Structure 1
């Protein structure tokens, strides 16, 4: 398996809706082209940022289709296929394979607290349903399950398992997964707030929910890390974190704030789907200040 295509800045793709709140083909494809022109390495489609748990199967398939039609062969495309049931997850996995995606990924099962044997079986059935490589998605703060080293080692016995998207907050988790998997496994940094530290301690790449809001800054952060310029890497991470904290300080969903921010950057991909709450009132004016912070940071680090 050629792993280089998975190394770089890979934004988590946002759900794109029309003004009536339905998945929009035109806006999805516009967003694809926007990110392609920014120079990102790939896209992670249908995950948390894609509001997957609030969409039905047909809507999720539509987004996978629109992204593939626009960017297949141009960017690395990873399809997140985690769903409430194994049956739905397998349907999405097979569909992503038909569309030409480069890899699959999935969170563990949600809602019921299941034994680890059930999580193993869930992931394994998804993996066995296609010939695509698979990336484990570890995000315990939302799923309630923290990937154990024992299960990680067991999953790696399947050669189609090529990595883990680790969104747990302790940066040591990245180091441990990398130490276990070695050079034949890709470890993706999940928490955007620790991109630089995650890369330094072992992450090979990054998939993040705020990358698409400010791709220029994460691309620059990666350049600083890969070139060994750790002073500027630390500085840009501080600026990134100030922006993320500002986005999360508003009333309403962070994704709503990001979508309003993208409108100010010239891209309308709609709003968010309930129960995610829209940003409104005075917070809309605060987003103008956040955009200004992003613009200033881009200029600050431009070479």
Structure 2
């Protein structure tokens, strides 16, 4: 059963119309575009989905439209982390109604809570549905780094099947794998270390830049699966050059990604404030980054 959670799973981007409201049409278009690339699944409503800047109703709408577009075609993971346990549980139950394959959540945000409160939060989400659960560990934004001791306690709940690990040390992936049972899934989170994350034990990846260059991550996974580690290192180098370029402009990385997708004919709007939209002369620079992606795709098509 857990094999469906392995592989390349893009984090789904927030899709807005020109007025900045959730767009059903654009959600469906992005869903179908990514499905056509041969990805394994989608992680819906997480950081790339701008979840903390959306209302509960907007988040439900995104979950609904993605499910209607792709249910039964891809593995769908719903990120339900929210400011309160009440909202998180409401999102979890709604995702279960929609037929999602699993739930995931960051730890509680804003207040610096003791680990006991974080444990209770995740357990309440887990116990609110029959769906399997994946911890989202992203300490650089939440201020909490999942401890091995908490992981071991939470593993007493059979619904916990994995961790989406976005901490930068790849050792964390190895430690989480070592602490759990053989079938426990660990996803590599930082796209900059996909290859090293996989080699140290990650079963696959969930990433925010996969959606703008799925071909490269799918090829990286192919290299790893076939033992072609020289090409795997080389493609990671090229991916990292692209990620650095995506983060080099005056605007959120996601605004750059969305501009590149728009150039490709996939218009999903811009980003929601306080994320900064791409503007000025940087709008033209997105074309250059798109060329970097296209050249890398062409480079590895015959590899």
Work out whether 1:53 is the aligned partner of 2:55.
no
Q: C-alpha separation between the residues in 2 aligned to 1:83 and 1:219?
A: 31
- How far apart in 2 are the matches of 1:181 and 1:244? 31
TM-score using structure 2 length: 0.99
Residue 181 of structure 1 is matched in structure 2 by 180
User: Could you say which residue in structure 2 is the equivalent of 1:192?
Assistant: 191
Are residues 1:78 and 2:74 paired? Answer: no
Distance 1:276 1:84 in 2: 18
Instruction: Name 2:93's counterpart in structure 1.
Output: 94
Correspondence for 2:133 = 134
Deviation of 1:182 (Å): 3.6
Q: 1:141-179 CA distances to partner (integer Å, 9 max, x unpaired)?
A: 000000011001111110100000000000110111111
Q: How does 1:215-254 map to 2 (within 5 A)?
A: 215-254=214-253
1:17-64 deviation per Cα after TM superposition (whole angstroms, max 9, x unaligned): 000000000000000000000000000000000000000000000000
Q: Flag structure 2 segments of 5+ consecutive residues without an equivalent.
A: none
Q: How many residues align?
A: 302
- 1:26 is matched with 25
What SS is found at the alignment partner of 1:183? coil
Q: Which runs of 5+ in 1 are unaligned?
A: none
Alpha-carbon offset, residue 79 of structure 1: 0.1
Which portions of structure 1, spanning 4 or more consecutive aligned residues, are displaced by more than 2 angstroms?
none
Q: Alignment partner of 2:43: what SS?
A: strand
Tell me the alpha carbon deviations over residues 187-212 of structure 1, each in whole angstroms, 9 at most, x when there is no partner. 00000000000000010010000000
Match of 2:144 in 1: 145
Q: Which residue of structure 2 lines up, in the alignment, with residue 118 of structure 1?
A: 117
1:246 deviates by 0.3
> Which residue does the alignment assign to 1:294?
293
**Aligned-partner Cα distance in 1 for 2:250–2:92:** 35
**2-structure distance, mates of 1:68, 1:264:** 26
1:62 is aligned to: 61
